[in-house]
Amino acid sequence: QAKLKGKNRLQFFNRDIAGGIQRKQYIERVLIKAIHHGHFNLVYMPIFDSQNLKPVGVEVLIRAPSLASKGIGPEEFIPVAETTGLIKDIDAWVLNESLSRITYLTDKYQFDGFFAINISAVELHNREFPQMVKSMLLKHQADPSRIELEITETSFVDNLDNSIRQLNHLKSLGVSLSLDDFGTGYTAFTQLIEFPVDKLKIDRSFIQGLDEGASEKKRMVDIVLALADLYQLKVVAEGVESEEQIEYLKYRGCEMLQGYFLSKPLSWDDFQLLIEQSHSSQTA
Ligand code: C2E
Ligand code: MG
Ligand code: MG
Ligand code: MG
If pLDDT is split at 50, 70 and 90, which confidence band does 6 have?
low
More confident residue, 262 or 12: 262
Q: Is the ipTM of this complex over 0.95?
A: yes
For residue 271, how far is its CA from the centre of ligand 4 (angstroms)?
21
The mean pLDDT value of the chain amounts to: 91
Q: Which ligand is closest in space to the CA of residue 59?
A: 2
The answer to whether residue 173 scores a pLDDT higher than 60 is yes
State mean pLDDT over 102-129: 96
If pLDDT is split at 50, 70 and 90, which confidence band does 1 have?
very low
Q: How far apart are CA 80 and CA 251, in angstroms?
A: 40
147-152 and 41-49 as β-strands: parallel, antiparallel, unpaired?
unpaired
State mean pLDDT over 232-245: 96
Q: How far apart are CA 170 and CA 125, in angstroms?
A: 12
DSSP letter string, the chain: -HHHHHHHHHHHHHHHHHHHHHHHHHHHHHHHHHHHHT--EEEEEEEEETTT--EEEEEEEEE-HHHHTTT--HHHHHHHHHHHTTHHHHHHHHHHHHHHHHHHHHHHH----EEEEE--GGGGG-TTHHHHHHHHHHHHT--GGGEEEEEEGGGGSS-HHHHHHHHHHHHTTT-EEEEEEETSS---TTTGGGS--SEEEE-HHHHHGGGSSS-HHHHHHHHHHHHHHHTT-EEEE----SHHHHHHHHHTT--EE-STTT---B-HHHHHHHHHHHHHHHH-
Ligand 1 atom nearest to CA at 117: 41
Write the residue with the smallest CA distance to atom 11 of ligand 1: 265
The answer to whether residue 283 scores a pLDDT higher than 70 is no
For residue 117, how far is its CA from the centre of ligand 3 (angstroms)?
11
Out of 137-146, 166-175, 223-232, least confident range: 223-232
The answer to whether residue 284 scores a pLDDT higher than 70 is no
For residue 61, how far is its CA from the centre of ligand 1 (angstroms)?
6
* Closest by CA position to 73, among listed 87, 61, 86: 61
If pLDDT is split at 50, 70 and 90, which confidence band does 110 have?
very high
Which residues have CB under 6 Å of ligand 1? 61-62, 73-75, 78, 91, 94, 118-120, 150, 180-181, 204, 238-241, 258-260, 265
Out of 65-74, 94-103, 154-163, 176-185, least confident range: 154-163
Q: How far apart are CA 205 and CA 239, in angstroms?
A: 8
Query: What pLDDT score does 9 carry?
Result: 58
For residue 7, how far is its CA from the centre of ligand 2 (angstroms)?
42
Ligand 1 atom nearest to CA at 261: 18
State mean pLDDT over 208-235: 89
Query: What pLDDT score does 2 carry?
Result: 46
- pLDDT tens for residues 44-60? 999 999 999 999 999 99
